[in-house]
Amino acid sequence: MEKTPNNWSFASVGGTVRVKINSGADIARLGELDRKMWTVLSCPAKNLEFDQKTLEILDADHDGNIRVDEVIAAAQWVTGALKNPDLLLTRGTEIPFSEFNEENPEGARLLASARQILSNLKLEKESISLEDTADLTKVFADTKFNGDGVITPASAEDEALAALVTTITETIGKTPDRSGADGVTADQIEAFYTALADYSAWKAAGTKDVFPFGDKTADALAACEVLKDKAADFFMRCKLIGFDAATAPAVDVSVEKIGAIEGNLALAGSAIGEEPLAKPSADGILPLDAVNPAWKGAVEAMRALVCPEAKELTEAQWNEILGKFAPYTAWMGEKKGAEVEGLGIDKVNELIKAGQKDALLKLVEADKALEEEALSIEAVDKLLHLYHNLYEFLNNYVVLADFYDPDRKAIFQAGRLYIDQRSTDLCIRVDGPNPDISALSGMYILYCACKSDKMGKSMNIAAVLTDGDVDGIRPGKNAVFYDRAGNDWSAVVTSIVENPLSLRQAFWAPYKKAGRWISDKVGKIASDKEAKGAGTLSNITEGATAAPTAGADAATKAAPFDVAKFAGIAAMVTMAIAAVAGVLTLIINALKGLTWWQWIILIVVLMLVISLPSVFIAWRKLRRRDLGPVLNANGWAINAASYVRGKFAKGLTSLVKYPKLSSVDPRARRRAAWRRFWLILIALLLAAAAFLFFTDRLAPYGLPYHKEEPVEEVVEEIVEEEVAEPTVETEETEAAPEE
């Protein structure tokens, strides 16, 4: 760890140089730190494994994101209120009164509020804790005024005002007070008295000429409204008959429709009600005593309220009745103050006359006078939350220290996912899959949809795998996710961002791809053959059962055999086979003279040629695995690389480890022993056969490895030797007689 001239400490964290927060003084002067040195510039204020109240406090503008300026402001505020800012590093939950900085006006105000909280709670001690402010409604429970501008019945000076507050909550609406009780605000008081005045004035405008039928006007209007459309239909039918008598059957009661009704006609009121109100005639008179049975009750109700003596009505008389309601309808349309209508006009006028509006508004003003004190009480709760949680937040914001600490977890780590005989601790809550951005991380990511039926909740996570094989992982695979609280969630893989997990996996990847390709091709060929066979069998079956026709014979007539075309295809196939055979012959001849150790070297070289490109690419990606893009896809603004590699990366994913067990079944042990024996024996036999073959020990049996010398050359050498020897002997024989 080194220090710069401005006395900031730095260390390498996650492969990147980062500033270290070592003291409360460092927290107090975060505003001096160059923003280019902050690991995070912004993070979401939700979906984190962190105290939600503290996140809301840090998100001062409540826009859903916590930015650098907000963090700096919170750090300066909390360090200014304490004598010893180093206490923030202890992550305590209780602040002694002796640690409040009374020389700072804010610290002195917070100390006074802290004492007030304990007084309201009837506690006697010299410190305040998070537990004391956990429920602020208890702090304000017995207070008459608490500075929120809401008065309750308990705020009133006498029973009449208390009852009036209750009346307002029941008519206009209610607002929760800091004490937890229901109360009213100044706006609601104003709205209540406005409604009283409007309703009283509207009621006064309802003179006798507005009520043509007295107290029964409303009922009479309702009865006429029921018949209004049906009566208009009746009079129009009458007009059509007067216009042309030939239309009478068409507009009269439909005998066919009535006759089509089955069963009890008394239960067919709706069908009968569709017929005319009465039998239409050219004179256009509605006989009130001879109406459609389905409408008889409605007609009688209207008649009793509007025209009890009438036996019949013309259209003009009916329209005259409807016209009488015009003043009443207009008056009802101007109705105001309906909120207090339930009180009755007498109670409304009584409340207006009492004139207690000003008394209620004065109570509201008295409550607001304590707003500063009440806000200070809430500020104490804010101080306690920052006192306990700010240092942890800074270790996940200014520095990602908690993420790289093996004993702690970062606030974005949501829990642990179990899948395919492994678990991963790098699981991040996300709004949904975002593969385009996450792919830049170079990490293997599983996007999973999680659901908890027990809690009735659902969420999405991005789970990062850093070790193991992935052959069995695919979209749709089920898994189980455990959150930080220990709750289990059903998880389903929805999408995958594929990247290398290890060099070992990358080495064997080409062979696995080739194996999958061959398997897919074989499977496709088998599937095509099966489908073709099934189709042929189906055609044979259908042909055997179908009657032959001339058209069918013509359609199924075989095409003539093209000899030239067949010969061309055969020639092409022969040439291709010959070319392949030639290449194979060249390869075999080139490799035939290799020794056993040359074969091993050749195989190793071929494997390296195939696998090294894949391994190199994987190595580069593994070196560049960066958590930043994954967090960026979830709303974070990451300002520095956060590498995930080496032993640290492997530590994030835990693979299954089984102990070596011996079977308790004697038969199973014997079978396992025999399997091992035969495997060892086969390996030894193969090794012996290879040795004998490569050393030409099998040549007498027709299995030579080294190439034998040509027979012609050996014969020539033998002939030369035989000719040379007699010549020498002849010379010696001829020389002897001379001596």
302 and 387: one domain?
Answer: no
CA distance to 181, 416, 440, 446, 487, per residue, from 432 (Å): 40, 18, 17, 11, 21
Q: What gap in Å lies between CA 361 and CA 355, rounded to an integer?
A: 12
Say how far residue 294 (Cα) sits from the centre of its chain. Answer: 57
Task: Tell me what the mean pLDDT of segment 564-585 comes to.
Answer: 63
CA distance to 182, 429, 630, per residue, from 137 (Å): 12, 32, 41
φ, ψ dihedrals at 463, nearest 5°: -105, 125
Q: Are 403 and 395 in contact (CB under 8 A)?
A: no
Question: Domain range spanning residue 285?
Answer: 208-258+268-333
Tokens 């061309």, located at residue: 568
End-to-end CA distance of the chain: 110
Element (H, E) at 20: strand 16-20
74 and 129: one domain?
Answer: yes
Q: What gap in Å lies between CA 273 and CA 293, rounded to an integer?
A: 8
713 part of a folded domain: no
323 and 438: one domain?
Answer: no
Q: What is the pLDDT of residue 594?
A: 61
246 and 389: one domain?
Answer: no
Highest mean pLDDT among 45-59, 119-133, 526-540: 45-59
φ, ψ dihedrals at 372, nearest 5°: -65, -40
List, for residues 230-258, the tens digit of each pLDDT value.
Answer: 999 999 999 999 999 899 888 888 877 77
Q: What is the pLDDT of residue 737?
A: 43
Say how far residue 211 (Cα) sits from the centre of its chain. Answer: 62
For β-strands 415-418 and 478-483, DSSP reports them as: antiparallel
Write the CB contacts of 8 (distance below 8 Å, at least 6 apart in sequence): 19, 20, 26, 33
Q: What gap in Å lies between CA 108 and CA 379, rounded to an integer?
A: 12
Enter the DSSP assignment of 416: E
Enter the DSSP assignment of 338: G
Among the listed residues 479, 512, 472, 475, the one whose alpha carbon sits nearest the alpha carbon of residue 496: 475
Structural domains counted in the chain: 4
List, for residues 169-187, the tens digit of each pLDDT value.
Answer: 999 999 998 878 899 999 9
Among the listed residues 45, 40, 50, the one whose alpha carbon sits nearest the alpha carbon of residue 66: 45
322 and 383: one domain?
Answer: no
Among the listed residues 174, 170, 121, 137, the one whose alpha carbon sits nearest the alpha carbon of residue 152: 174
116 part of a folded domain: yes
pLDDT bracket for residue 736 (50, 70, 90): very low
22 and 105: one domain?
Answer: yes
Higher pLDDT, 17 or 370: 17
Q: What gap in Å lies between CA 1 and CA 9, rounded to an integer?
A: 7
Q: What gap in Å lies between CA 392 and CA 382, rounded to an integer?
A: 16
630 and 494: one domain?
Answer: yes
Higher pLDDT, 588 or 469: 469
- Alpha carbons within 13 angstroms on the beta-carbon side of residue 272 total 16
238 and 286: one domain?
Answer: yes
String of DSSP letters for 521-546: HHHHHHHHHHHHHHHHHHHHHHHHHS
494 and 629: one domain?
Answer: yes
Element (H, E) at 175: strand 175-176
pLDDT above 90 covers a percentage of the chain that reads: 44
CA distance to 52, 66, 731, per residue, from 49 (Å): 8, 15, 113
List, for residues 530-560, the tens digit of each pLDDT value.
Answer: 777 666 666 666 655 555 544 445 444 444 5
- Residue 454, class by beta-carbon neighbours within 10 Å (0-12 exposed, 13-18 middle, 19+ buried)? exposed
Among the listed residues 516, 511, 474, the one whose alpha carbon sits nearest the alpha carbon of residue 492: 474
pLDDT above 70 covers a percentage of the chain that reads: 78
pTM of the model: 0.61
666 part of a folded domain: no
Higher pLDDT, 715 or 118: 118
387 and 354: one domain?
Answer: no
For β-strands 422-424 and 427-430, DSSP reports them as: unpaired
Q: What gap in Å lies between CA 283 and CA 315, rounded to an integer?
A: 10
List, for residues 295-339, the tens digit of each pLDDT value.
Answer: 999 999 999 999 998 999 999 999 999 999 999 999 999 999 999
Q: Are 168 and 151 in contact (CB under 8 A)?
A: no
Enter the DSSP assignment of 419: -
Residue 21 tokens read as: 């927060």
Q: What gap in Å lies between CA 674 and CA 680, rounded to an integer?
A: 10
Residue 476 tokens read as: 């749709």
Q: What gap in Å lies between CA 51 and CA 721, rounded to an integer?
A: 104
244 and 192: one domain?
Answer: no
Higher pLDDT, 540 or 510: 510
- Sign of the alpha-carbon torsion through 143, 149, 154, 155: positive
Which stretches of 351-502 are assigned E, i.e. beta strand?
415-418, 422-424, 427-430, 444-452, 457-465, 478-483, 488-497
Q: What is the pLDDT of residue 728?
A: 44
Element (H, E) at 735: helix 711-735
670 part of a folded domain: no
465 part of a folded domain: yes
Q: What gap in Å lies between CA 459 and CA 469, rounded to an integer?
A: 26
User: Is residue 47 predicted with pLDDT exceeding 80?
Assistant: yes
55 part of a folded domain: yes
40 part of a folded domain: yes
Q: What gap in Å lies between CA 351 and CA 248, rounded to an integer?
A: 63
Q: What is the mean pLDDT of the chain?
A: 82
557 part of a folded domain: no
Q: What is the pLDDT of residue 231?
A: 94
Torsion, CA 608, CA 614, CA 619, CA 624, rounded to 10: 170
Task: Tell me what the mean pLDDT of segment 190-218 comes to.
Answer: 92
183 forms beta bridges with 175
Q: Percent helix, strand, coil in the chain (nearest 5)?
A: 55, 15, 30
Q: What is the pLDDT of residue 470?
A: 80
58 and 182: one domain?
Answer: no
Q: Are 16 and 643 in contact (CB under 8 A)?
A: yes
